[in-house]
Amino acid sequence: MQAPVPIQDVHAGREAFARDLESALKGASPCERGWAMPNDLTLLVPLFASNSAGSCDAYLLKLFFDHYSNGPPSAQFVNPLTLSYSFPGDVVWVPHIEGNVSIAFHTNFNNNQNQLICSSTTLEFYKVNHGVDEKHIWHAGQMTFLSTISAIKAGLAQPYYKGRSTK
């Protein structure tokens, strides 16, 4: 089936994100959780992946909530200095993974210089009119942004993680 594109509703997204963030934090602050909020619609989440040399690579995931919770948050790996993504200069800030059938990270999707985290837990998945099994579609009320973070973390696990992207 074709994945339905969620409707943008900034006000509802802000409220749903605030509610789900409060629940996820369990009384802690975003900073105590290791997260940052540059505004009330954006969450920055540091993620780490073990490379084949045994050291750890750091990434910064930017989630944006203007279609939330009817749809998942927008998700993008960003340059930690600029908090944005520009192809080709920022491809090193996107993890390279192979063999995971549930998620993929594209630095230049369809040669249009846009990044795509290809997972039904990200808004961009729906915006590119991706086909999807019903069981994988985002279900508001049953899923939160923690589902998105969890899916992306699973993609960074061994044996899928192969290091930083180079192209």
* pLDDT, tens digit, 9 for 90 and up, residues 38-76: 999 999 999 999 987 788 999 999 999 999 999 999 999
* pLDDT, tens digit, 9 for 90 and up, residues 103-158: 999 999 988 889 999 999 999 999 987 777 888 899 988 999 999 999 999 999 99
Number of C-beta neighbours around residue 99 at 10 A? 8
